[in-house]
Amino acid sequence: MPQATAQIPFIPNLQPPNLRTSESDSRTVTGWVYLDGRRLFQITAPRANFTERLENIQENINQISQEYFQNPDAKLDVQVKTENGLPVIYVNNRQLMTITDQDARLRQVDAWTLANQISRSLREQLEQAKQEREPEFLVRQGAIAVGCGLSILVISWGLTRWKNRSQRTFIQQQLASTASPTARPITTQLNQQQQRHIQEVTKRLYQIGQIGIWGGGALFILGLFPHTRSLQLGIFLGLQFPVILGAVAIGTYVSVRLSYLLIDRFTSAFVSSSALLTPETSERLQLRVSTISGVTKSIVTIVCVGVGILCALLALGIDVVPLLAGAGLVGVAVSLASQNLIKDAINGFLIILEDQYALGDVISVGTVGGLVENLNLRMTQVRDAEGRLITIPNSEIKIVANLSSRWSRADLTVPVDYKTDIDEALNLIKKVAIEMDEDPKWQHQIVETPQVLGIDNFGDRGLLIRVWIKTQPLKQWDVAREFRRRLKIAFDHAGIFIPVPQQAIWVNDAQLLVSPDSRVRDQQSKVNGHQ
């Protein structure tokens, strides 16, 4: 009785017939003959008649094996006879195949030696296959199948428990990082991104694990029994290329996610360094970290996808050397035809390197401007005040105004009436600015003590007083709105008026200054004089 085993062929050995070139440059094809999903021997033939020969031999072995299995008392007789100078294998007086010179050259032996080797292997395999159909063997394999099924259930349940526990841990860590009062915003964001990448990788690994457990277990059970082993082989052959491509795609995806995790972890450690985070550079460093991290992730994604494509081509047996050479030529042609893309990439690299602006900055480029929402090596996208998303190629950015680099300023012009006591107005404006600077709600947003510069100009409505308030980046508009509100209330209490537009009309025609009654009397007198 043979040992109870399952037949699991290796995927690399399950390739379809491959082409071989002989010394005479005539194409030949090689393939395997199977019995119950197990390989018996390999044959070769010219491409024109290979399929016919393989199907004929496979049909003969199937008929011989069925007759041998159905008759419990049948004896196995394997003989090698000579026909037309070539060895011919017979099994129970039924012709199986003729050993050709091409078969012998494939194994690098003479035809008679190969015929004897195939005969011995065929006898052993047929005897083993018949023993595997005995009830005792099938009962033993059934017990193994039941144990395998229970093991699959236990492993799948354990994997599900591990996935649920990791998900609960992820939620707890996310809540803890959000609720931490000492955590910096950028650090909290990076930690949350790390947890999301870990959660995504865990989710995909869980799905792959479940597919591997159930699919692998099912294939193992199919390989336990001789009647289903052929089905196992067919599934392997049918899923060979999809499995290879799927494995490469999953590996590429997991590599990208792990790269994102490493980038976020490195940037988080970089930001958390106390030596680098001074009050002057903290906010700016956070913006730069977000920008560089996003650009690095884009580059890593492109590299990983490119390597994944090459691995997939290699796994499918495609020679990538000519493809790489052709890709180099195509790359040169594309680079010549798309010089603007190269300019975009170079200018984008310099923008990031020189810290001209970063994600979260408010910039003005030519006639457009807004909040920078996306920045990569090719383009910059800003959102203006009307909510429009404006895309600007980096090569088109020659002069850029950054309104939020390191600090900002609220530049205010306060108009007052000409009849106002100017010293009183200046003191009141300075008092309101100092009170706002000392307010705990606003003192963090105001970097320095506000400056009341004095009378800036004589306007057509009144005097114009200039005020500067240095603020944190992007806080100048909030501070300016609050300052105007407080100043209006203070002006109302002090009786200081903000001038409104006025117009004065000067009439120089003397006739228009005479009353209508006098003009009527003059006309009557002129009429009486004529009479």
The CATH number covering residue 430 comes to 3.30.70.100
CB of 344 closer than 8 Å to CB of 393: yes
Pick from 143-152, 177-186, 281-290 the range whose average pLDDT is largest: 143-152
Average pLDDT on 82-108 reads 87
| 296: in domain | yes
- The reported pLDDT for the residue numbered 4 is 42
Indicate whether 18 pLDDT > 50: no
- The reported pLDDT for the residue numbered 468 is 92
Residue type, 516: P
Domain boundary among 383, 405, 427: 405
- The reported pLDDT for the residue numbered 520 is 52
- The reported pLDDT for the residue numbered 151 is 92
- Domain hosting 355: range is 332-405
Where do the DSSP E strands lie in 125-224? none
Q: Are strands 368-375 and 78-83 parallel, antiparallel or unpaired?
A: unpaired
Indicate whether 180 pLDDT > 60: no
- The reported pLDDT for the residue numbered 495 is 87
| 119: in domain | yes
The interaxial angle of helices 282-315 and 339-353, nearest 10 deg, is 140
Same domain, 221 and 337: no
Indicate whether 5 pLDDT > 50: no
Q: What is the CATH number of the domain that holds 359?
A: 2.30.30.60
Average pLDDT on 314-337 reads 67
Same domain, 109 and 215: no
Same domain, 245 and 201: yes
Same domain, 236 and 214: yes
- The reported pLDDT for the residue numbered 201 is 79
Same domain, 238 and 341: no
Same domain, 297 and 216: yes
Question: What share of the chain in percent tops pLDDT 70?
Answer: 77
| 518: in domain | no
Indicate whether 126 pLDDT > 70: yes
Pick from 189-198, 241-250, 267-276, 506-515 the range whose average pLDDT is largest: 241-250
CB of 410 closer than 8 Å to CB of 466: no
Residue type, 166: S
| 514: in domain | no
Same domain, 450 and 348: no
Domain boundary among 405, 438, 461: 405
The residue ranking higher by pLDDT, 26 or 170, is 170
- The reported pLDDT for the residue numbered 511 is 55
- The reported pLDDT for the residue numbered 195 is 73
Which residues in 290-315 are b (16+ Cβ under 10 Å) and which e? Answer: bbbbbbbbeebeeebeeebeebbeee
Residue type, 150: L
CB of 124 closer than 8 Å to CB of 178: no
DSSP states of 432-457? HHHHHHH-TTTTTTB-S--EEEEEEE
| 150: in domain | yes
Domain boundary among 378, 405, 432: 405
Same domain, 92 and 37: yes
- Band (pLDDT 50/70/90 cuts) for residue 169 is confident
Average pLDDT on 264-279 reads 62
N- to C-terminal Cα separation, the chain: 158
Same domain, 167 and 257: yes
| 480: in domain | yes
| 317: in domain | no
- The reported pLDDT for the residue numbered 239 is 78
The residue ranking higher by pLDDT, 149 or 344, is 149
Indicate whether 383 pLDDT > 70: yes
Indicate whether 416 pLDDT > 80: yes
The residue ranking higher by pLDDT, 265 or 424, is 424
- The reported pLDDT for the residue numbered 528 is 53
- Band (pLDDT 50/70/90 cuts) for residue 428 is very high
Q: Share the mean pLDDT of the chain.
A: 79
Average pLDDT on 361-378 reads 86
Same domain, 236 and 142: yes
Question: What share of the chain in percent tops pLDDT 90?
Answer: 8
- The reported pLDDT for the residue numbered 485 is 93
Structure tokens at 212: 């591997």
Per-residue H/E/C for 335-357: HHHCHHHHHHHHHHHHHHHCCCC
Phi, then psi, of 369 in degrees rounded to 5? -175, 170
CB of 78 closer than 8 Å to CB of 90: yes
The residue ranking higher by pLDDT, 70 or 510, is 70
- The reported pLDDT for the residue numbered 354 is 79
- Band (pLDDT 50/70/90 cuts) for residue 514 is low
Which residues in 344-361 are b (16+ Cβ under 10 Å) and which e? Answer: beebbeebbeebbbbbbb
- Lowest-confidence region among 76-85, 379-388, 518-527: 518-527
Place of tokens 């117009």: 503
The residue ranking higher by pLDDT, 513 or 239, is 239
- Lowest-confidence region among 200-209, 277-286, 405-414: 277-286
| 220: in domain | yes
The total number of structural domains that make up the chain: 4
Cα gap 375→297, rounded to integer Å? 12
Q: In what order do the strands lie in the sheet with 408-416?
A: 408-416, 463-471, 451-458
The residue ranking higher by pLDDT, 473 or 480, is 480
Apex 363 CA angle, 362 and 364, nearest 5 = 140
Same domain, 441 and 394: no
Indicate whether 154 pLDDT > 90: yes
- Band (pLDDT 50/70/90 cuts) for residue 460 is confident
- Band (pLDDT 50/70/90 cuts) for residue 466 is very high
Indicate whether 58 pLDDT > 70: yes
Same domain, 399 and 424: no
